[in-house]
Amino acid sequence: MERFARCEDVLRQACGVAFTGAVARIEHRGVPVYERAFGATRDDEAQRPVYVDTRFDLASLTKLFVATVALQMIAAGRLALDETLERWFPQWRGLPQERITPRMLLAHTSGIQSGADYRTLLADRIVTFAIERPLAAPPGERVIYSDLGFILLGALIERISGVSLASAIRSLFPSPSLGFTPPARERSSIVATEEDAWRGRVQGTVHDEKAALMGGCAGHAGLFGTAADVAALTEIYLAADCGRASGPLPADLAREATREAAFDPVLRRGLGWALKTNASNSCGERFGASSFGHTGFVGTCVWADPQRDVLGVLLTNTVYFGRGDSRALRAAFYDALVEDIEA
């Protein structure tokens, strides 16, 4: 029996039903032990095969890369986790927003509202909209998962660094397969996402509407990359938890990012990362209580289990077949991963 036969079975059954294409990658103790591609880039005559180095719209996994850039700036002393941000956002002076800190943005406790209907937004005013919109809760009071908060985190990185967010990401993560706004000549090889009345079938341009209005580059969404790119990011944090070198972040800061910064009964929050909270989370029942991960709306996800020193990346395009909940597929994959690792 092949070592990862259970994972294979889950994904082969879902291919063509839940997604057109997928890449799964598993690393154990810092070493890749499984990587496999499934299906095609889309479900029509324009389809191409998916390979292990095929790029996907990473959707909200973008937040993890942006969070890591912010944490690296904190490690370098250019920003402090608990400083207030009114010098970078002077519109906040005298308002409840003046209490917002980088820790709150990273943990989704800033009180900034979750998002906005893209049809109400003007492309050149999205950051201003996020700055000026009234808060949904007092800063630090509770978790509100917020695209707008990470849009502001991206803007904060640009204002402090003096370079574009894309350049800041590229500097820390120089992988040639990772980046915003792929060239038009490469789009047909990227896995397609949803078809909508605004843009038709979306392929090789960002699915998220707010990020699209921002030119494809935003703090909450817009990155395209491979399963290996997501695994490399995750290993920074898993390595710190498991006593290996942690790359661009000090080990203590990387570990802090995967510890509880904010409680939520559905999904606790670290700094950028989501933390396993109960068996209904997308990492399934078998991943350990210290597990951390993140999901993306189009069908992407990653989870790491420090107890077993294992990480699993699952990139898919489940949104191709509609906006239904893909938690069951993700949970089945991660449950199978644990069974296969322990078999």
Listed residue (103, 112, 116) closest to 138, CA to CA: 112
**Cα(333)–Cα(6) distance, integer angstroms:** 8
Specify whether the CB–CB gap between 188 and 203 falls below 8 A.
yes
103-136 tens-digit pLDDT? 999 999 999 999 877 667 665 588 999 999 999 9
Query: Would you call 313 helix, strand, or coil by DSSP?
Result: strand
Domain presence at residue 92 = no
Torsion of CA 81, 82, 84, 87, to 10 degrees: -40
CATH number at residue 251: 3.40.710.10
Q: Is residue 152 part of a domain?
A: no
- Listed in sequence order, the residues at least 6 apart from 282 whose beta carbon sits closer than 8 Å to its beta carbon are 293, 295, 301, 303, 326, 327, 330, 331, 334
Whether 252 is covered by a domain: the verdict is: yes
Give the N- to C-terminal CA distance of the chain in Å, as an integer: 10
Q: How many domains does the chain have?
A: 1
For residue 25, is it within any domain?
yes
Per-residue pLDDT of the chain (343 residues; tens, 9 = 90+): 488 999 999 999 999 999 999 999 999 999 999 999 999 999 999 999 999 999 999 999 999 999 999 999 999 999 999 999 999 999 999 999 999 999 999 999 999 999 877 667 665 588 999 999 999 999 999 999 999 999 999 999 999 999 999 999 999 999 999 999 999 999 999 999 999 888 899 999 999 999 999 999 999 999 999 999 999 999 999 999 999 976 899 999 999 999 999 999 999 999 999 999 999 999 999 999 999 999 999 999 999 999 999 999 999 999 999 998 899 999 999 999 999 999 8
In a domain, 292, yes or no: yes
Q: How far apart are CA 297 and CA 32, in angstroms?
A: 25
137 C-beta neighbours (distance < 10 Å), count: 15
By residue range, what is the domain housing residue 239?
5-57+227-342
Helix %, strand %, coil % of the chain (to 5): 40, 15, 45
User: pLDDT digits over 285-342, tens only?
Assistant: 999 999 999 999 999 999 999 999 999 999 999 999 999 889 999 999 999 999 999 9
Q: Which two tokens stand for residue 14?
A: 């879902």
Tokens representing residue 136 in the block: 């949904």
pTM of the model: 0.97
State which amino acid sits at residue 229.
D
Radius of gyration of the chain (CA): 19
With respect to residue 87, please indicate whether it lies within any of the assigned structural domains.
no
- What integer pLDDT is reported at residue 88 of this predicted model? 97
H helix runs in the chain, sequence order: 5-14, 62-75, 102-107, 126-132, 147-161, 165-172, 209-213, 227-241, 251-257, 327-342
| pLDDT, the chain, mean | 96
pLDDT computed for residue 246 by the predictor: 66
Strands 224-225 and 310-316: what pairing? unpaired
| CA dist., res. 334 & res. 302, Å (int) | 10
In a domain, 82, yes or no: no
β-strand 31-39 against 56-57: which pairing, if any?
A: unpaired
Cα 172 to chain centroid distance, Å, stands at 16
- For residue 261, tell me if it sits in a domain: yes
Closest CA to 179 of 153, 161, 206: 206
* pLDDT score at 124: 59
